[in-house]
Chains A and B, each alone.
Chain A
Amino acid sequence: MNIDDFLAMDPGCDRDEIVDLRSLDYVSNYDDHLMCAICHCPYIRPVRLQCDHVFCQKCLNTAITTFDTDRDEFKCPTCRTPTRGVYLTVPRFLINMCDDIRVKCPFEVQGCKEIVPRGHIQSHVDKYCGHRLMDCPDVFCRKKTRKKDLSAENKCMHELHRCLRCDAEIMEQDYQHAKELCPGLKTTCPDCEATVFRKALREHIDACPEAIHCCAASKYGCPIKVKRVELAVHEQTCPLITIGPYFEAQNSRLDSLELTIRHLQQRNEIFEDGLANIRSNLVESSCVISGRNPDRPAESGSQGSPSNSSQTVNEQFDSANNFSSNATTYLLALHESLREEVGQLSHAITDLDSRASMAIMNECLRLKEDMAHTNAAVGSIRMQVQWLMNPRIHQSQRTGVRTNGGNNGNETRAGQLGSSVAGPSHAAGPSPGFFQPRRLSDSGREGTKL
């Protein structure tokens, strides 16, 4: 079938139908694949395009008629394939599945509780639904009546009647209803058999002496239920009622205690948070201190670092002041870390001390050795000087003897003087044959040199 034939078909096949299937209330969830992409309802009278996409007949019809350009160029709304043919046959199971979806009767508001498959809704409404609204048989009445309320005589049910008891105006169709509910009717109290007006029934029940009531202490566990007249007697003897005030007091105490506990829990949480905070601070600071340790003992200029660390420690201390309960622990830790520092410092000092004394000892030994050498040298020099002085002493003693003996002595003495000016080695030269002892002294001098 081509598009024009399709359009020529009566699009409103459902014109005479009362039920608009699109506005029904779908009870069961239906699969998206059963849903017309245009109206998003389960397919209603589905038709198929050449490209195998299925739409409701009505939806496709509207889509084609509102398509502005040439109808021959109409494209499938889903896949945009140009479409020349429309097929009215779709697989039977598709129609069956769509018709099987459960819907509520459209006259739900009127009181119909039926839920039927969609395929049956039309016949339900046509034949079975008593809540379907029908036009009033009276041609002048514009109102509608539920099907089940239609009277056999085709009488208008909308005429107003006056209620015999309560003076309200009611319609014929509501008459039955009113018979049961008219507030002017009398009724009997279920407890005391007294007859009261319907509208006064509630007040009566509240005051009826025969009505059964619970004991006032039922919330504390009194199981007794008696008529109102006997209740007063019971309440005088009921132990639970006498204890009642005590229970109340206990309850309120419990409540306030719970409140306090909750407060305390909150405070406790806050304190625990604070404690954890301090702990993490301590761990950090101890890390900093141990990080500084290795370079401290070596040089004496590390005096700055302890003061720094004590400063940070002080800051931590300040922050710790907020949590006074933890101050002792904190101070102890502080004390411990300071003691550790002091220990390290004293260790460094002893180390330095021992080094210094060792150095001094070494120096002393060296000096002693030097001194011994010098002493030895001085001794040898003294010996040499004595050796040198010895011949002179001997000579002066001998010349003293010779001047007494002859003139030769003067001459040699002059020669001696001249040689002493020129130098000892020359002095020995001019007269070797004369001075035997001097030769001895010469040889002795050479021995000391060696």
Chain B
Amino acid sequence: MSYSRSRTHIATETKYSKIRREVIDDANAILPVQLKSVVSYSLITQKAIIEQRSWHNTFGRRVEWDWERDDYGYYHFLYQEPKRFELAIWWREMKLCALSLGQPTWSGSRLRLDFIESAPGDNPLKGSTFNLIEIAARIYAKHIDAHEIRLMKPVNANVIDFYCSKGYEYNSRGNFCFKVLR
């Protein structure tokens, strides 16, 4: 499949690629000492794409969907969303523990996280992946001057409760959980 991109798109992609790399570097740099030796952030690399294939049909995976889809998955964001937020979290640089995708709102004042998934099955970071993702999201939001993070369409009341326990509020009209950043 070919995608033609305008000069504006390419310029935006270049600018935000730099931001994404800085976010990864800074997120890795500020990890607590006890995590730094085993946890690392990266962009969604080819290695991450290949690793997530093992998530398919794994017991404990809540929904069978495909990160590689180019109509709604990573490749859609890669080719169509130059301002995207993208993240992979690794254990000992070998085991993929989480992926996340998002993008700024149209005005740029808010960062929405559209996709968050923890590795199903055996995941050494289970229970901590959202905290780790949120760190990187906050750094990205700082870079783009966004003052709010939105978690779009929480799937049920338990998930809403979980996010509320992390300091988010639920907006029922828009069906998202949000946190205003300092």
Q: Do A and B bind each other?
A: no
B-side residues, CB < 8 A to A, are none
